Amino acid sequence: MDDNYKKRPESWAIITSEPGPELPLVTVRFDTVRNPRNAKEMRAVVLESPDWVNIVALTPERRLVVVRQYRFGIAAVTTEIPGGLIDPGETHREAAERELREETGHTTSKWTYLGASEPNPAVFNNLIHHWLAEGVEPTHSLEQDDGEDIVVDTMSLDEVRDAVLSGSIRHTLVLAALARIMDLSKG
C-alpha cells in the first residue's frame, strides 16, 4: 500500500501513432503506448479536437443567460450556458464573444477569464476555456447554424443553483464553469 503513496506516475512511451476512422467533430488517433509499470503495450484511442469555450454571461440584473437546445448524444433538450468550438485563427476570448453573440444575441465589453478545464483527459486532447461576461445586453439577432435550434432564456442565480441541485442543469462542462463563480454544494 505505502509503495503507491506520494509518488508521481511516469509518462508512457508512445510507440506508434496513426490516424483512426473519420468522424464528424473529432479527429480519431490511435497511439500504441507502453505502460512503464509492467512494460506492456496497448492501443489507446485519442479524440483530437480544437479547444472549446463556454461563457457565464450575466445581465446587469445578475441573471444568467442560458440556452436550451436538443442534444444528439442524450437525444433530449438541455439547459446550458452558451459555448462552442474555437475557430481557426481565433483566440479563446474572441470565440467566447462570438459564441455569446451568435447563440444568444448578447454582447458586453466586460470580460473576465475564469481558467480552463479538461473535458475528458482520458480520451480528449483539448481544453475548455471558461469566460465570465458581465453586464450583457441583447443587441443582436441570433445567428444559428443549420444544425442548431436554440431558445434563449435567463435565470436568477438562485434558480440556477436550484437547477443544479435538482439535476435539471447537469452538463459537466457547464458545471465546471458555474462552479467558478458560485457555490454549487448542498452544504
> Which 127-186 positions form the footprint of a second copy (CB under 8 A)?
128, 138, 141-142, 144, 146-153, 167, 170-173, 175-176, 179-186
CB of 16 to a second copy, least distance (A): 13
Q: CA 67, CA 45: separation in Å to the nearest integer?
A: 32
**Residue showing cell 507502453:** 34
**What are 52's strand-pairing partners?**
85, 128
The single residue among 15, 44, 81, 95 that binds a second copy, judged by CB under 8 A, is 44
77 counts as binding a second copy under rule CB under 8 A: yes
CA distance 181 to 154: 16
Residue 84 CA, chain-centre distance (Å), reads 8
Selected binder of a second copy within 60, 110, 113, 121 (CB under 8 A): 121
Dig out the grid coordinates for 126 from the structure.
483539448
Q: In terms of DSSP bridges, do strands 52-58 and 128-134 run parallel, antiparallel, or are they unpaired?
A: parallel
User: Is residue 69 involved in binding a second copy (CB under 8 A)?
Assistant: yes
Candidates 37, 88, 109, 158: give the one binding a second copy (CB under 8 A): 37
The residue (of 78 and 135) whose beta carbon lies closer to a second copy is: 78
